[in-house]
Structure 1
């Protein structure tokens, strides 16, 4: 089922597309053929700036969960044989601290549709029954609708250079993210499978998923992903220092 076939979603998708094309037209005298690529960068940054309050809320929630983690583990240890009592005690702890185990979910839910809408513009060749002219624009001679994997049969030096720079940049960001934000403490002896050492190591490689996606999606989406991962790393680094984990 195509979600954007429904009129309200189709309208939002077309509105996002028209904003991008309008910004590209404004930048054309300055950036020339690269105006659409620059418009993607600017719109992505504006979206991420608008979502900073949601990121702050998530950082605060993460800090709260880290502070309460020892008490939650103690409750789990004491009442592991009585799940109902364990649940009541945990919820009481959250009430005493004036927070909720779901405090970090709402900001994520707010971000998802906005980011998804912008991302969808770069993946569709047709937007509201008209061609997506954004994908016909170029960056250093490479159409924004070109994907690295899809261009294997018609590979060019320009395609290799542009995608090579983006993927190399995203790989560096992914490795920095993995090293900076990996768990600093060993898991508890009775840790659940989701918090075990092996699972934490596996989760540490999640930042590399964006690198993989960048090879399959159109160049326009790859630019969006590159800007997003750089912004996310910088924002997490700043917020981690503003709201350090105990």
Structure 2
């Protein structure tokens, strides 16, 4: 059977290394406002460590998404050509992706690579039970184990979870109501930030024309956040802190990449050439932003009729009114 111990050792080593660093700097190890900041920061910088390692994969993900966007016109042509023939359509699209070296699954790769880290942290935090006999597993010392098992976020143990049993809460010395409130709020934040990370990318790149790619987008946008509403109850608070921190890191990273390397302009978003635009637009009235009705066009003054002058060489015509002598009175 395949063993995941190497993942548990790696996660433990990163956590303990960061905890030792914060302890050496002078970050409070004991609880301040009910929080052990050294352990909380160790989980936060576990995220930073993993994301730095996976940064090349993130770059490949962005490049793959750009390649998929560039192929959208060809994908649409194939859909029109093989409408009703799903098997042939899928075959043609796979050949197109292979030819252009684009992978529709690359968008999910960073998330899949983080699953072992998530499972490793989940397993390590679950064993932070003071009643455990083996406290030195995965490279922990007894003092480190005791310190981590007592670590709290606003008096809620990082090993506690929304669905903790009464026995689990008793062994951690935790208040059930406090744990449920802190875990419940974090689960809602986790769901919201998970939704926002997917929505941010889709708003910038648009929905894919490829049905398979569109299905993946819908899964990322709606499926995963919905599943967290149920599964979040079994996640330790420390794992939820990891997930939320990872989402915030992703939001910032995606915003930077999308600003520095904006997605290509598709045919739908292309601006009409100057020759096809109407150069004269009716002015709008109704306030500062012109939200009212279109203002009526200015009245056009009628041009004065032109008086034809005498033709060249013609004799001047006397005005009879002027040439007639005035009558004498008398």
TM score, norm. by length of structure 2: 0.56
RMSD value over aligned CA atoms?
Answer: 4.0
Paired residue for 1:72?
75
Among 39, 56, 60, the alignment partner of 2:63 is: 60
Paired residue for 1:26?
21
Among 239, 250, 255, the alignment partner of 1:232 is: 250
Once residues 108 and 59 of structure 2 are traced to their aligned partners in structure 1, the CA distance between those partners, rounded to angstroms, is: 12
Once residues 105 and 178 of structure 1 are traced to their aligned partners in structure 2, the CA distance between those partners, rounded to angstroms, is: 11
Paired residue for 2:225?
207
Among 181, 187, 190, the alignment partner of 1:170 is: 190
Once residues 203 and 143 of structure 1 are traced to their aligned partners in structure 2, the CA distance between those partners, rounded to angstroms, is: 31
Once residues 227 and 119 of structure 1 are traced to their aligned partners in structure 2, the CA distance between those partners, rounded to angstroms, is: 15
Structure holding more helix per residue: 1
Segments of structure 2 that go 5 or more residues without pairing to the other structure are 31-35, 267-330
Whether the aligned pair in 2 keeps the contact of 1:173 and 1:229 (CA below 8 Å) is yes
1:121 aligns with 2:141: no
Whether the aligned pair in 1 keeps the contact of 2:198 and 2:220 (CA below 8 Å) is no
Question: Which range is displaced more, 31-40 or 200-209?
Answer: 200-209
Mapping for residues 87-126 of structure 1, pairs under 5 Å = 87=91, 89-101=92-104, 104=107, 110-125=113-128
Where relative contact order (Cα < 8 A, 6+ residues apart) is larger, the structure is 1
Paired residue for 1:43?
46
1:141 aligns with 2:155: yes
Judged with a 3 Å threshold, the aligned counterparts in structure 2 of structure 1 residues 201 and 17 are, in CA distance, closer, same or farther, namely closer
Paired residue for 2:325?
none
Rg: which structure is higher? 2
Question: Which range is displaced more, 10-19 or 175-184?
Answer: 175-184
Segments of structure 1 that go 5 or more residues without pairing to the other structure are none
Once residues 112 and 195 of structure 2 are traced to their aligned partners in structure 1, the CA distance between those partners, rounded to angstroms, is: 26
